[in-house]
A and B are shown apart, each in its own frame.
Chain A
Amino acid sequence: MDKGAFRISMMKQGCQKPNNFYRFYGRKQAVLALWGIIPFLLIIYLFVYEKIKLIDAVTLFSALAVFSIMIGLSFFRRSADKFVSESTGPEIMEAEEKGEPMRIQVDRELSDIAGNIDSVLRKVNEANRDMKEQTVQLMIYARDLSLSHRRMKEEQELRYRLSRYVGENLVEKLINSKDSLFLENERKQLTILFADIRSFCTMAERMSAEDVVSMLNEFFGIMVDIIFRNNGILDKFVGDQLMALFGLIPSENSAPHDAIKAAIEMQDATEDLMKQRAKQDKETFEIGIGINTGSAIVGNVGPENRMDYTVIGDSVNVAARLEQIASEGQIIIGEQTYRQTQGLFHMRKREEIYAKNKTEPVICYEVVR
């Protein structure tokens, strides 16, 4: 029989005495059995000493038979009661769980009933097992749910941080790719681009604050799109100046190539924008761009709640210097940038310049559009 099913053992009196109840019950049974002798003793007494007739004997015997049956029934009833008391309540389930046999002291008919209960219990057992399996399954679902919730939160945070520096299309790409952790602190070979509006201050003085802000917003909006399109990241705006980094996002072109391409597009887009503004009788301006390539440290700098992902290094200072010497509509690049893009663009050499903290003169080139 299955481990799950419970066994019935027909206990014989005196074989096993598992508890006090049985001991007491066994003694009582013996006393009851003795009662059965009483009618026979009575018959013998009546025949021998009273000399009664046969017909009287039959009548008397019938009465005694009824009496005996009643005693028998009460005895049987007791054992059935005991079976019921054993087979109800949680004890039966407990016995089943411990794999203990159910102790029944009954006649054969009751073993059929016990057999039925046996099969019911087997079903209950199966249902119980199913339920446990389902609970485990549910726990796994809950675990996965919290896992994916945590991942989603992390992704959202990363998305928020990324969207400050790169374009929306790139945010998706970076989140899906494994190497999305470019917001870490490291020393890297980078191409830095500075662009600013020439003679912005004198122009701004002639304009209302609203006009200056809306002009800058329109202009920067276009510039940022171009930078994002060319795999650059936007480092920061400083007034009318914009700073972008190339070489942090994987690209099919080299970083200097992407930067110069972006610079040309920025100059072209600015010209287009100025033509529109001229038609509307609005103030117009031109921009100068400086690009330099070199080693720099990128990282999150600043107090904890004002952290800024930025770049530090000599090559950054040189790029800023190149932007300063670029006149209206010009793109000036450093030597490293030139070497890595030779032949890709039309470029001509410019006079050497001296940058801050640099004893050696800086060799620079102009990109001819």
Chain B
Amino acid sequence: MKKILIVDDQVEVRELVEVTLRSGDYQVFQAESGEKAIEIARAVKPDLIIMDIMMPGGMDGLEATGALKNDPETNGITIIMLTAKGQEADRKTGLGAGADDYFVKPFSPLELIKKVEEVLG
């Protein structure tokens, strides 16, 4: 079973993404901060991380992505940004930090499912 880690400071968003991905056969983990995301990523080695950018306090999504992509232990994990920052510059920053794809909130659940299926094969 493929493993997915959802990182977002808002519990509602995490739950929404988890419910959306229930159509597939995935094991889903949640983290509410960048630090927690790195901790769980190292422990469970998910196949995919869905990462929010703006998370108050401590490490944000960009920093966490950079850290995960620079660590040889976790750099194989696909990271999709899921964020309300929809500007082209934000997209570039996100992809520059090492994210594999970029999704803008509010998101289409069908497109998210499609993307996840595409990434996880």
Query: Which A residues have a C-beta under 8 Å from some C-beta of B?
Result: 133-134, 136-137, 140-141, 143-144, 147-148
Contacts and interface: CB of A to CB of B under 8 A. Distances in A.
A132 to B, nearest CB: 10
10 contacts: A133-B84, A133-B105, A136-B106, A137-B16, A137-B105, A140-B106, A140-B107, A144-B108, A144-B110, A147-B110
A140 B12 contact: no
A141 to B, nearest CB: 6
A144 B114 CA distance: 12
Contact of B109 (A133, A134, A136, A140): A140
Given A137-B107, A140-B106, 9 more contacts: A133-B84, A137-B16, A140-B107, A140-B108, A140-B109, A143-B108, A144-B108, A144-B110, A148-B110
B106 A137 contact: yes
Interface in B67-109: 84, 105-109
Contacts of B109: 140-141, 144
A134 B10 CA distance: 12
Contacts of A136: 106
Is chain A's interface secondary structure helix, strand, loop, or mixed overall?
helix
A143 B106 CA distance: 12
A134 B108 CA distance: 13
A131 to B, nearest CB: 11
Contacts of B106: 133, 136-137, 140
A140 to B, nearest CB: 5
A133 to B, nearest CB: 7
Contacts of B107: 137, 140
B86 to A, nearest CB: 12
Nearest to B111: A144
A130 to B, nearest CB: 8
> What are the 9 A-B residue pairs with the smallest beta carbon separation, nearest first?
A137-B106, A144-B110, A136-B106, A144-B109, A140-B106, A140-B108, A144-B108, A141-B109, A148-B110
Nearest to A138: B106
A95 B90 CA distance: 33
Nearest to A141: B109
A141 B105 CA distance: 12
